[in-house]
C-alpha cells in the first residue's frame, strides 16, 4: 500500500502540470458547450477540447486516483435513481432486453465483416473492435485474448466519441429536448444529508473493490450503483448528490477520454481513426433501426429506446441518459444486458476465430 502511494506521489510530481493543463482545457470546453446550450456540456465539452489538444501534441494526464472516484460518484448517482418498482419494471422490459441481445449480435456480425474485408484487420481484433460495450471492460477482454490492443483502442475510442457526440446532438436538433438546468456547479440541494454523503464516500470505494474482486463488468460503476441502490431501497440512504459534484466528476471523465489521444500522430493513424468513425456511424444506424423496430411494440418513448440500443457502452450511455434527463434505470438494464451477453459469448467466438 505504501509503495502504491509513493508511486502515485512520484507520478503526480512528474505530471502535475499535465493534469492541470488537461483540467483547464476540459473546463474551457465545458464552459463553451454550456454557453452554446449544447447537451451534456460537462462531459462532451471536455472530450471535444482535450481530444483536439491531445491530437495536437499537448500532454494530458488524468491519474486513476482522480478518475476512479469520478466514476464512483456517477455510480452512486445512478444507484440513487433506482426505485422500489425495479422488479416490476424489469419484467416489463424483458421484450426490449431480448431485442437488445439480437441487436448486439447484428452489430458485432456486421461490423466485424466490415473491419475484416474493408479495414483488413485480423478476425480476432475485428471481433473486439466490433463489440459495442464499454471501452474499459472491452479493452481488458481484448488484452486477455491477444488482440491488437493499439488498433482496438483507436477504433473503439473514435466509436465512443462519435456515439457520445451524435446522440445528444441529434436529440437537440430533431426533438424538443431542452438542456436541463440541474447540471451546474451548485453545491447546495434541497434534499442534502451530509452524514449520508460521508457514508456513501465510504461505501462507494468499498463496493468498487468488492465488485472488482467478483469480476463484475465495469466495477467502478456497477459496484457503487448496486450498493447505493440497495441502501436506498432499504431506507438507509435518501439524499441528493449536489450537481456541482456531479459536474466535476463528468469533467474528469471527459478529460480522461480525450487524454487517450495524447501521443497519437494523426497522419500515422488516420486510416484507423477513419474506420473508427465508420464503426461508430454504422453501429448508430443499426441501433436506431432496432430502436425503431422496438418502438412498434414496446411502450417506451423512442428517445429512451435509442439510448437503450445505443452502442456507447454501459457507463457512457447511462451518463448520456442521466445528462439528458431520461430514465437511467431503463438504459442501465439494457446496456448491462448487452455487456453480459458479450462477455458470456466472447470465449466461444474467440475459440471459433482462432481455429
DSSP 63: -
| pLDDT tens per residue, range 41-60 | 888 888 889 988 888 888 88
- For the chain, the average pLDDT equals 83
pLDDT number for residue 181: 52
Checking if the pLDDT of 191 tops 90, the result is no
- State the number of CA atoms in the 13 A half-sphere of 278 facing the CB: 14
pLDDT-derived band at 80, boundaries 50, 70, 90: confident
Question: Per-residue b/e over 88-125, b at no fewer than 16 CB within 10 Å?
Answer: eeeeebeebbebbbebbeebbeebbebbbeebebeebb
**263 vs 230, higher pLDDT:** 230
**Residue 335 — left, alpha, or beta (φ > 0 → left; ψ -120 to 50 → alpha)?**
alpha
pLDDT-derived band at 179, boundaries 50, 70, 90: low
- At which residue does the C-alpha cell 476512479 appear? 68
Count CB atoms within 10 A of the CB of residue 190. Answer: 5
pLDDT number for residue 130: 92
- At which residue does the C-alpha cell 456541482 appear? 244
What length is written for the chain?
355
Going by C-beta distance under 8 Å and a sequence separation of 6 or more, which residues neighbour residue 204?
A: 69, 72, 73, 75, 76, 223, 224, 227, 228
pLDDT number for residue 22: 92
Long-range contacts of 29-35 (CB under 8 A, 24+ apart): 29/254, 30/247, 30/251, 30/254
pLDDT number for residue 349: 82
pLDDT number for residue 177: 60
DSSP 259: G
- C-alpha span between 128 and 139 (Å, rounded): 8
As given in the structure block, the three cell numbers for residue 134 are: 464499454
Checking if the pLDDT of 93 tops 60, the result is yes
pLDDT number for residue 86: 73
Of 255-264, 288-297, 344-353, highest mean pLDDT: 288-297
pLDDT number for residue 188: 57
Closest CA to 353 of 160, 159, 149, 130: 130
Closest CA to 33 of 174, 184, 237, 244: 184
**264 vs 120, higher pLDDT:** 120
| pLDDT tens per residue, range 25-35 | 999 999 998 88
Is the CB of residue 58 less than 8 Å from the CB of residue 262? yes
- C-alpha span between 33 and 38 (Å, rounded): 5
- C-alpha span between 327 and 303 (Å, rounded): 10
As given in the structure block, the three cell numbers for residue 112 are: 466485424
H/E stretch holding 220 reads helix 219-233
| pLDDT tens per residue, range 264-287 | 777 767 888 899 999 999 999 999
Checking if the pLDDT of 250 tops 80, the result is yes
| pLDDT tens per residue, range 197-240 | 899 999 999 999 999 998 887 788 888 988 998 998 888 888 88
Amino acid at each position: 500500500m505504501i509503495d502504491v502511494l509513493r508511486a502515485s506521489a512520484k507520478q503526480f510530481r512528474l505530471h502535475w502540470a499535465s493534469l492541470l493543463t488537461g483540467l483547464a482545457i476540459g473546463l474551457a470546453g465545458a464552459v463553451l458547450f454550456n454557453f452554446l446550450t449544447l447537451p451534456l456540456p460537462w462531459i462532451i465539452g471536455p472530450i471535444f477540447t482535450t481530444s483536439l489538444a491531445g491530437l495536437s501534441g499537448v500532454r494530458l494526464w488524468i491519474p486513476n486516483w482522480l478518475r476512479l472516484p469520478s466514476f464512483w460518484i456517477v455510480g452512486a448517482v445512478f444507484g440513487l435513481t433506482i426505485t422500489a418498482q425495479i422488479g416490476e419494471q424489469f419484467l416489463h422490459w424483458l421484450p426490449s432486453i431480448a431485442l437488445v441481445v439480437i441487436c448486439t449480435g447484428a452489430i458485432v456480425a456486421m461490423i466485424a465483416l466490415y473491419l475484416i474485408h474493408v479495414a483488413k484487420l485480423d478476425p480476432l481484433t475485428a471481433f473486439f473492435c466490433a463489440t459495442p460495450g464499454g471501452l474499459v471492460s472491452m479493452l481488458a477482454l481484448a488484452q486477455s485474448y491477444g488482440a491488437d490492443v493499439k488498433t482496438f483502442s483507436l477504433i473503439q475510442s473514435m466509436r465512443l466519441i462519435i456515439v457520445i457526440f451524435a446522440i445528444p446532438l441529434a436529440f437537440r436538433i430533431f426533438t424538443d429536448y431542452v438542456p436541463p438546468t440541474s447540471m451546474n456547479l451548485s453545491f447546495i440541494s434541497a434534499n442534502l444529508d451530509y452524514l449520508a454523503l460521508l457514508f456513501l464516500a465510504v461505501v462507494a470505494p468499498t463496493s468498487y473493490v468488492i465488485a472488482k474482486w467478483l469480476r463484475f463488468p465495469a466495477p467502478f460503476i456497477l459496484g457503487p450503483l448496486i450498493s447505493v441502490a440497495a441502501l436506498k431501497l432499504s431506507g438507509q440512504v435518501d439524499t441528493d448528490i449536489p450537481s456541482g459534484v456531479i459536474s466535476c466528476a463528468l469533467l474528469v471523465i471527459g478529460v480522461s477520454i480525450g487524454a487517450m489521444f495524447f501521443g497519437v500522430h494523426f497522419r500515422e493513424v488516420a486510416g484507423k481513426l477513419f474506420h473508427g468513425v465508420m464503426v461508430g456511424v454504422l453501429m448508430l444506424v443499426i441501433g436506431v433501426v432496432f430502436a425503431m423496430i422496438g418502438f412498434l411494440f414496446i411502450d417506451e418513448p423512442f428517445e429512451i429506446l435509442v439510448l437503450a440500443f445505443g452502442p456507447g457502452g454501459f457507463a457512457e450511455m447511462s451518463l448520456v441518459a442521466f445528462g439528458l434527463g431520461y430514465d437511467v434505470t431503463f438504459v442501465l438494464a439494457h446496456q448491462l444486458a448487452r455487456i453480459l451477453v458479450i462477455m458470456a459469448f466472447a470465449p466461444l467466438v474467440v475459440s471459433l476465430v482462432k481455429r
